[in-house]
Amino acid sequence: MSACFDPWLTGADALDALAAGQGTHDGLIERRRRRLAALLEAAARGSPIYRERLRGATADSLQSIEPVRKRELMQNFDTWVTDPRLRLRDLRAFVTDASKIGRAYEDEFVVWESSGSSGEPGIFVQDARAMAVYDALEACRRVQRWWDPWYAAERIAFIGATSGHFASTVTAQRLRRLNPAMAANLHAVSFLQPTAALVEQLNGLAPTVVSTYPTAAVLLAEEAVAGRLHITPSEVWTGGETLTPGMRRRIERQFGCKVINSYGASEFLALASQCRCGELHLNGDWAILEPVDEQMRPVPPGVAGHTALLTNLANHSQPIIRYDLGDRVRVHRNPCACGSPLPVIDVQGRCDDMLVLRAQGGEPVRLLPLALTTVLEDDGGVFDFQLVQVAPNALRLNVGADEAAMARAQAALRAFLHEQGLAHVRVSALCGGERVRGRTGKLQRVVADGQPSGRAPTRVRSDPAQGVVLHDV
């Protein structure tokens, strides 16, 4: 039943996380410095790709290390990892087997894949040390309830892409394997099914806790307003996308419960947790997040960076040091009223739009952006693309690849639309065309309106020969 779980490590890390959360800023800095020194030593010793990059680097000179991007690391995967048993070819074969979701690789590692929102899918391997840290942070830094801290009495529904080795799906299945008592009350529900089927399944499960993405939570709130969804959750957990204040208010108003937001990534599962004051606190004792400008120069507190550089202090098997995460992060100048020494951050991550199309009878059909990107990645096999709604029932798919990939992606998208009762929707496709920026001004992969905010679209030309044109946003 191994799922890479060490109760002694997890217990020790949990006690340390509790102490750090109640400690001082200086204590937090000292923990981080000690862990960074150990990470740099392990990476320089065991990772050929980092050995030269880290020459002369110390825990006091992190900013002297050249930043790195996912594409470079994935192209040199076998010289990136520090354990010779981890080989990209074998790991790719592992994550293509759905029966192994939540199971340990080589009985020692948890493996998940990331979406290809940068144009490059990733494979991320977590050793027992990293998983112990993630487990401890999730257990100790989530908003706690004294009457049922482990949610043993709750029926939890995770709503997402349930058939892939994604971090959230792997985590849910791993928990089911580790805790048979939880298995009966933790349900994975696919958001790829038609909304009517999703609503019917949730009505049957009657979950008391819903864990999903902000756009999916908004969709559920709208289904509840329409009188089709009849669940009464006590909490809604969100993550994986930007949660705006308006989205939070809509979800909380409809379900009459708190929304508890978190921030994580495939590169570090538990980056930040929401405190009792509603703020996101970076787990700065185990992760370093540097907001930087377009030239990779640090920005001051209170200023949102163009991107953020992540250093994962927990994972020595697959070192992540000054890694371009792609999210815009702002570190608050002042401490939080909750009293925690952990820094408060704001995050603008994924910002894709929900699409609203019309069924043949005229009723609206809402399509989640993560469902669309999952179909195009998993079934279409493309990662560099943009999907734009150009008319009420017309989509344009721009694929930065060859024509064969474009045709495959178009077929996958049409099949998905047919399952949603939208077979009549027109899907045009082109290869290497111009890209449109969405309403936020950021380059998105799913855009609800080709003419955002009533102005002419800003276009970014894609050249398939030049490789990646999208960033992790």
Angle at CA 383, nearest 5°, toward 380 and 387? 80
How far is Cα of residue 340 from the mean position of the Cα atoms in its chain? Answer: 25
Which CATH architecture describes the domain 7-348? 3-Layer(aba) Sandwich (3.40)
Sign, CA dihedral 168-169-173-174, equals: negative
Match domain 355-466 to its CATH number in 3.40.50, 3.30.300, 3.30.1360, 3.30.70: 3.30.300
Q: What is the structure's pLDDT at 373?
A: 92
Q: Which amino acid is at 47?
A: S
Pairing between strand 156-160 and 186-190? parallel
Given a contact cutoff of 8 angstroms between Cβ atoms, the answer to whether 157 and 202 are in contact is yes
In this structure, the chain runs to a length of 473
Q: What is the structure's pLDDT at 203?
A: 98
Q: Which two tokens stand for residue 97?
A: 């087997």
Given a contact cutoff of 8 angstroms between Cβ atoms, the answer to whether 161 and 192 are in contact is yes
Q: How far apart are CA 37 and CA 321, in angstroms?
A: 12
Q: Going residue by residue through the chain (473 aa), what tens digit of pLDDT does each one get? A: 456 788 899 999 999 999 999 999 999 999 999 999 999 999 999 999 999 899 999 999 999 999 999 999 999 999 999 999 999 999 999 999 999 999 999 999 999 998 765 557 899 999 999 999 999 999 898 776 656 666 778 899 999 989 889 999 999 899 888 877 777 889 999 999 999 999 999 999 999 999 999 999 999 999 999 999 999 999 999 998 889 899 999 999 999 999 999 999 999 999 999 999 999 999 999 999 999 999 999 999 999 999 999 999 999 999 999 999 999 999 999 999 999 999 999 998 777 899 999 999 999 999 999 999 999 988 998 888 999 999 999 999 999 878 899 999 999 999 999 999 999 999 999 988 778 765 545 578 999 976 443 333 333 333 333 322 222 22
* Residues contacting residue 404 through CB under 8 Å, at least 6 positions apart: none
Q: How far apart are CA 22 and CA 191, in angstroms?
A: 38
Shortest CA distance to 4 belongs to which of 315, 265, 319, 323? 315
Please, where in the chain does CATH 3.30.300 lie? 355-466
Q: How far apart are CA 128 and CA 462, in angstroms?
A: 41
Q: How far apart are CA 120 and CA 153, in angstroms?
A: 40
C-alpha dihedral (288, 294, 300, 303), degrees to nearest 10: -100
On the CB side of 31, CA atoms within 13 Å amount to 22
DSSP letter at 298 equals B
Sign, CA dihedral 91-110-114-47, equals: negative
Pairing between strand 426-431 and 394-399? parallel
* Residues contacting residue 52 through CB under 8 Å, at least 6 positions apart: none
Global pTM reads 0.85
Q: What is the structure's pLDDT at 119?
A: 58
Phi, psi (deg, nearest 5) at residue 343 = -65, 145
Instruction: Give 144: exposed, middle or buried? Use CB within 10 Å, 0-12, 13-18, 19+.
Output: exposed
Given a contact cutoff of 8 angstroms between Cβ atoms, the answer to whether 375 and 418 are in contact is no
Name residue, tokens 């971090």: 167
Q: Which amino acid is at 363?
A: E
Q: How far apart are CA 438 and CA 450, in angstroms?
A: 8
Q: How far apart are CA 94 and CA 169, in angstroms?
A: 15
Q: What is the structure's pLDDT at 452?
A: 42
Given a contact cutoff of 8 angstroms between Cβ atoms, the answer to whether 274 and 280 are in contact is yes
Name residue, tokens 């969405």: 438
Radius of gyration for the chain, computed over Cα atoms and rounded to the nearest angstrom: 22
Phi, psi (deg, nearest 5) at residue 407 = -65, -40
How far is Cα of residue 50 from the mean position of the Cα atoms in its chain? Answer: 25
Q: Which two tokens stand for residue 171?
A: 């985590």
Please, where in the chain does CATH 3.40.50.12780 lie? 7-348
Considering only the C-alpha atoms of the chain, give the largest distance between any 2 of them, rounded to a whole number of Å: 67
Helix axes 25-46, 7-21, angle to 10 degrees: 140
Instruction: Centre a 10 Å sphere on the Cβ of residue 122 and count the other Cβ atoms it contains.
Output: 18
- Concatenated DSSP letters of 69-94: -HHHHHHTHHHHSS-TT--HHHHHHH
Q: How far apart are CA 251 and CA 189, in angstroms?
A: 19
- Paired with 273 in beta bridges are 262, 281
Containing H/E element for 68?
none
Q: How far apart are CA 469 and CA 455, in angstroms?
A: 23
Instruction: Centre a 10 Å sphere on the Cβ of residue 447 and count the other Cβ atoms it contains.
Output: 26
Name residue, tokens 């980092």: 50
Shortest CA distance to 143 belongs to which of 339, 265, 286, 277? 277
